[in-house]
A and B are shown apart, each in its own frame.
Chain A
Amino acid sequence: MLRVDANLGFDPARAAEAARELEDLGYDGVWSAEASHDPFLPLVQAAASTERIQLGTGIAVAFARNPMNLAMVSNDLHSITKGRFLLGLGSQIKAHVTKRYSMPWSHPAPRMRELILAIRAIWASWASPDQSLRFRGEFYTHTLMTPFFDPGPNPYGNPPILLAAVGPRMTEVAGEVADGLLAHAFTTERYLREVTLPALERGAQKAGKSRQDLQVSYPGFIVTGRDGPEWDRVLRVDPRLPVGAGAARLGRPPPPAQLPVEEGRVGGHG
């Protein structure tokens, strides 16, 4: 089954309403983004206004945080959403992590692998009173968890972790330690077949998993419209977008060069 997802939009104050509209439209999941707003907060609102739809971060910047922050916020969101949360993580790039977030950057794929393993170690320590937290890695160390700070087992289990990846090394990490992959919107069908999916399977094999154990989420560009008003609006988008050629192919004139972008967007992983 191919699930169909949407983006929640960029206005956190409208998150509840937007999520309800998307659930009513029939979508299976919605993704929040981390750009000019926090990715987790809108999902609290969305959880309260919806019943069925899955709610995920697409993406939250992993290296702007530490494994304990991520383990806790996602454990809480999984409770708040009654088991509908998907933890989508991405590395961002060095300049943003170091200069915008003032956080360390090194060895992104091994660091991400360890960050996800640390989150899982923290969750495991909460899931069982007999499981102490003794995570010692190259990048992250978590060795203290006292009862006061331990939320206990989550009745909904742990949320799936989906990792955003483009290059083969990060994609292998997604296959090995995450529950799935968030592909980038610029990923072509050929790149999916020749690079992404083979790397994902290599990673899965390291952990004794197969492709069927993983979910792959793909934000695909669509250039479409019905005859009439929809196509007219498509033709009026930012001339930087590659819509002109497609419109011409479909027998419509190319877009005028200088008309402004109108409003909102339906989009992929931020």
Chain B
Amino acid sequence: MGELIDDEVLESFAVVAPLEEIPEIIRNRFGALVDRFSFYAPYPLEPGALREIVHAFKRANSAQPS
């Protein structure tokens, strides 16, 4: 079924990017719209990967308090 979903639909519903780009993309797309973001990743992601994302958010928050 994944093959039936093209990139445009996928990217409407999901943030699709390499790990290091995820925090920046989420902040750009949703930072002005929402106050809390939780990652909906219905597949296993290593704690190390999540730690990188969460820490990148924290760095961005402390750089731009708002």
Which residues of A are at the interface with B, using a C-beta cutoff of 8 A?
1-7, 21, 25-29, 31, 180, 183, 185-186, 188-190, 192-193, 197, 215-227, 229-230, 233-234, 236-246, 249-250, 254-255, 261-269
Which residues of B are at the interface with A, using a C-beta cutoff of 8 A?
1-3, 5-7, 9-20, 22, 26-27, 29-31, 33-47, 49-51, 53-55, 57-58, 60-61, 65-66
Residues from chain B with Cβ under 8 Å of A27 in the complex: 54
Listed by A's residue number, 18 A-B pairs whose Cβ atoms lie within 8 Å are A5-B36, A5-B38, A21-B47, A26-B51, A192-B34, A215-B35, A218-B30, A219-B39, A220-B30, A222-B39, A223-B41, A224-B41, A230-B19, A234-B45, A244-B2, A245-B7, A266-B42, A267-B40
Q: How far does the alpha carbon of A48 sit from the alpha carbon of B48 in the complex, in Å?
A: 25
Q: Known: A222-B22, A234-B43, A242-B2. Contact between A4 and B15, CB under 8 A? A: no
User: In the bound complex, do residue A243 and residue B26 qualify as a contact, i.e. CB atoms below 8 Å apart?
Assistant: no
Residues from chain B with Cβ under 8 Å of A190 in the complex: 12
- Chain A nearest CB, measured from B36 CB (Å): 4
Q: How far does the alpha carbon of A249 sit from the alpha carbon of B6 in the complex, in Å?
A: 10
Residues from chain A with Cβ under 8 Å of B54 in the complex: 4, 25-27
Residues from chain B with Cβ under 8 Å of A192 in the complex: 30, 33-34
Residue among A192, A241, A250 with max Cβ neighbours from chain B (10 Å): A241
Q: How far does the alpha carbon of A200 sit from the alpha carbon of B37 in the complex, in Å?
A: 17
User: In the bound complex, do residue A241 and residue B12 qualify as a contact, i.e. CB atoms below 8 Å apart?
Assistant: no
Which B residue's beta carbon lies closest to that of A189? Answer: B29
Which A residue's beta carbon lies closest to that of B60? Answer: A2
Q: How far does the alpha carbon of A26 sit from the alpha carbon of B47 in the complex, in Å?
A: 11
Residues from chain A with Cβ under 8 Å of B33 in the complex: 189, 192-193, 197, 216, 218
User: In the bound complex, do residue A255 and residue B38 qualify as a contact, i.e. CB atoms below 8 Å apart?
Assistant: no
Which A residue's beta carbon lies closest to that of B25? Answer: A222
Residues from chain A with Cβ under 8 Å of B22 in the complex: 222, 224
Residue among A1, A234, A261 with max Cβ neighbours from chain B (10 Å): A1
Which A residue's beta carbon lies closest to that of B9? Answer: A242
Which B residue's beta carbon lies closest to that of A216? Answer: B34
Residues from chain B with Cβ under 8 Å of A234 in the complex: 43, 45
- Chain A nearest CB, measured from B18 CB (Å): 7
Q: How far does the alpha carbon of A250 sit from the alpha carbon of B10 in the complex, in Å?
A: 13
Q: How far does the alpha carbon of A244 sit from the alpha carbon of B1 in the complex, in Å?
A: 8
Residues from chain A with Cβ under 8 Å of B34 in the complex: 2, 183, 192, 216-218
